[in-house]
């Protein structure tokens, strides 16, 4: 597709389980971002990948969160031992330049 694709759209998981969220960026975009948005709140930066450089992980809230980007394209955000406070929309975005970034539709995560 032409846009940023995220899966799953919705995920309900039990507390303590691990979850993986996937992001397919726009082809050719070297930069990829993960943001988290809690209900009614702003966007919280999680992690940023740029080409082959080491990712900026400064926004990851705890060591239960990790992300990788394989082959400079698809990215997976993994949350281990999920907690209820992890419930949020996880938004992925990609960018070809320093300017506009393009968002996916997000993955709604609910931890019960």
Question: Which residues of this chain interact with other proteins, rule CB under 8 A?
Answer: 4, 31, 33, 35, 37, 39-43, 45, 48, 50, 53, 56, 89, 91, 93, 95, 97-106, 108
Q: Minimal distance in Å, beta carbon 34 to other proteins?
A: 11
Name which of 40 and 71 has its Cβ closer to other proteins: 40
- Spatial distance between the Cα atoms of 105 and 112, rounded to a whole number of angstroms: 22
Query: What would the two tokens of residue 108 be?
Result: 């709604």
Q: How far is the CB of 81 from other proteins (least distance, A)?
A: 25
Give 43 or 80: the residue with its C-beta nearer to other proteins: 43
Closer Cβ to other proteins, 8 or 16, answer by number: 8
Q: Which residues contact 52 (CB under 8 A, 6 or more apart)?
A: 72
Minimum CB–partner distance for residue 64 and other proteins (Å): 22
Backbone torsion region of residue 27, taken as left when φ is above 0, otherwise alpha when ψ lies between -120 and 50, otherwise beta: beta
21 burial via Cβ count (<10 Å: 0-12, 13-18, 19+): buried
Q: How far is the CB of 93 from other proteins (least distance, A)?
A: 8
């Amino acid at each position: 597709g032409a846009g940023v694709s995220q899966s799953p759209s919705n995920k309900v998981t039990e507390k303590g389980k691990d979850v993986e969220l996937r992001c397919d960026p726009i082809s050719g975009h070297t930069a990829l971002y993960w943001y988290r948005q809690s209900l009614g709140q702003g966007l919280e930066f999680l992690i940023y990948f740029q080409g082959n450089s080491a990712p900026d992980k400064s926004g990851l809230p705890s060591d239960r969160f990790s992300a990788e980007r394989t082959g400079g394209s698809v990215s997976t955000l993994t949350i281990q031992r999920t907690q209820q406070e992890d419930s949020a929309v996880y938004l992925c975005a990609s960018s070809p330049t320093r300017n506009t970034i393009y968002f996916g539709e997000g993955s709604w995560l609910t931890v019960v």
